[in-house]
Chains A and B, each alone.
Chain A
């Protein structure tokens, strides 16, 4: 079974629209971390946010906001007033402690196309 599921393969929006990227995760650990990364066409992975399993507060950073709900094992990402520069592939990831290191599991990614 997938540890991290991003059901939306590709989303297209017009600039200034709001868009939400879904992420559902699966873990038996009580302590874990969730992440979002952005991968623009250039290929590098850009870290966006990290949340630990004990902090369910939603977070807002500029046009970005994240909704963490343990009850539904979801960690959704919303971009408000999208811009063309937001076009990228977005990955959700789960980190669990495995023996002597923290293992990351990545979702399959959601490609976001923001059209002018």
Chain B
């Protein structure tokens, strides 16, 4: 398994500002993922982040709004830029430590609960 921590755990922000969320894993992993969970909704994949390459964004998500960094195999950040109240969500990072071996599993961080006023 993998232990994942996220910072901050929650934040309240003003519209128009940006927030950077950090995700730290206790082991080296190739694939990291960022999800958004809007209130009362399911999880939606924002992007996949590989170390050493640009993040791959899902339909409906763009780099200008959600820039992602992946400087090494244990760390990633997601920035929510120019926030609006519609960005109020839980943002979760996850890792798939054995994906390249054909074993599907995904471990999730505790989430960052963002409220935009």
Contacts and interface: CB of A to CB of B under 8 A. Distances in A.
Interface string A27-41: 000001101010000
Contacts, number: 50
Main secondary structure on chain A at its contact with chain B?
Answer: strand
B42 A43 contact: no
B104 A50 contact: yes
Contact of A106 (B42, B96, B105, B110): B42
A43 B104 contact: no
B48 A44 contact: no
Interface of A: 32-33, 35, 37, 43-45, 47, 50, 52, 91, 95, 97, 101-104, 106-109
Interface in B26-43: 31, 33, 41-43
Interface string B52-91: 0000000000000000000000000000000000000010
A43 B48 contact: no
B8 interface: no
A102 B110 contact: no
